[in-house]
Amino acid sequence: MNSEIGARTERLRKVFGPLVAVDGLDLEVGRGEVFGLLGPNGSGKTTTIRMLTGLLRPTAGSATVVGIDVVREPEQVRRRIGYMSQRFGLYEDMTTAENLRFYGGVYGLVGAERSRRIEEQLVRFHLAQRARQLAATLSGGWKQRLALACATMHRPDLVFLDEPTAGVDPASRRLFWQLIKEHAALGMTVIVTTHYMDEAERCDRLAFLSRGHLIGVGTPGEITARFKQRTIEDVFIALQAKDEVAV
């Protein structure tokens, strides 16, 4: 097991009937890296994440997450990862602290250890003053902050964030990304999908997907240079237009 590798895919492929959702994907994500998966709708981002989390079996190829084979040992993978999306399942009739307690139990934390982690998360995510507030009454930004706190209760080695800030105001998104960067600095690997190009610029490296194929990987600067565009947003717009023409 290479402790410096967060996730790796080799010739990863997923087919749904006549649709090739992901085709021959080769990726390597380093430990502690904030890695963005970008591309227009239908490019294969979510399918890739579902395979890496062990929720979807690849048609061909291989993938490991924190050194664990996602096909052979999907349950082991799930114990070592966190997952969050814009539809993360917070229980709105529970308070902030109760949600943390519930998800701590889901991830196998019990007793004094769970109580200690709850207190740690309340402090780390600046949620202490909202510990007794019902999740239903939190704003979108605070809900996303709580969702990330829940998804990282068990200190996962890698966390998947699938469109985590969709519909959240810009100020809340900036604060959310500060928290992501803080966790990455502690060694947690982050794989994120987003349609916000200002967020993409915050990633250490990016992979652009188009119609199931990897068409570019590198730092934001390397990507813009490769596609001869001024910004990541320009790259995204160009790829989106190309995909629309190809349909």
Query: Residue 126: which region, alpha, beta or left (left: phi > 0; alpha: psi -120 to 50)?
Result: left
Q: Is residue 145 part of a domain?
A: no
Q: Domain containing 188: what range?
A: 5-87+157-246
Q: Give me the CATH number covering residue 78.
A: 3.40.50.300
* 137 within a domain of the structure (yes/no): no
Q: Is residue 31 part of a domain?
A: yes
Let me know if residue 174 belongs to a domain: yes
CA-nearest of 123, 77, 76, 79 to 100 is 123
Nearest to 239 by CA among 203, 217, 215: 215
The most distant pair of C-alpha atoms in the chain lies apart, rounded to whole Å, by 57
How many domains does the chain divide into? 1
Residue 3 is predicted with a pLDDT of 61
* Domain membership flag for residue 104: no
What is residue 136's DSSP assignment? G
Q: Is residue 141 part of a domain?
A: no
The answer as to whether 187 is a domain residue is yes
What's residue 247's pLDDT? 42
Q: What are phi and psi for residue 20, nearest 5 degrees?
A: -95, 100
Taking a C-beta distance cutoff of 8 angstroms, is the pair 182, 148 a contact?
no
Q: Residue 149 falls within a domain, yes or no?
A: no
Ramachandran sector of residue 230 (left: φ over 0; alpha: ψ -120 to 50; beta: rest): alpha
Question: CA–CA separation, 96 vs 116, rounded Å?
Answer: 15
SS3 18: coil
Using DSSP's 3-state secondary structure scheme, residue 235 falls into helix
Please give the chain's pLDDT, 247 residues, in tens: 456 899 999 999 999 999 999 999 999 999 999 999 998 888 999 999 999 999 999 999 999 999 999 999 999 999 999 999 877 789 999 999 999 999 999 999 999 999 999 999 999 999 999 999 999 999 988 999 999 999 999 999 999 999 898 888 888 888 899 999 999 999 999 999 988 898 999 999 999 999 999 999 999 999 999 999 999 999 888 877 776 555 4
Instruction: Please name every residue paired with 28 in a beta bridge, in sequence order, or none if there are none.
Output: 8
Q: Could you tell me the CA-to-CA distances from 173 to 25, 57, 153, 197 in Å, in that order?
A: 29, 32, 20, 12
pLDDT of residue 83: 93
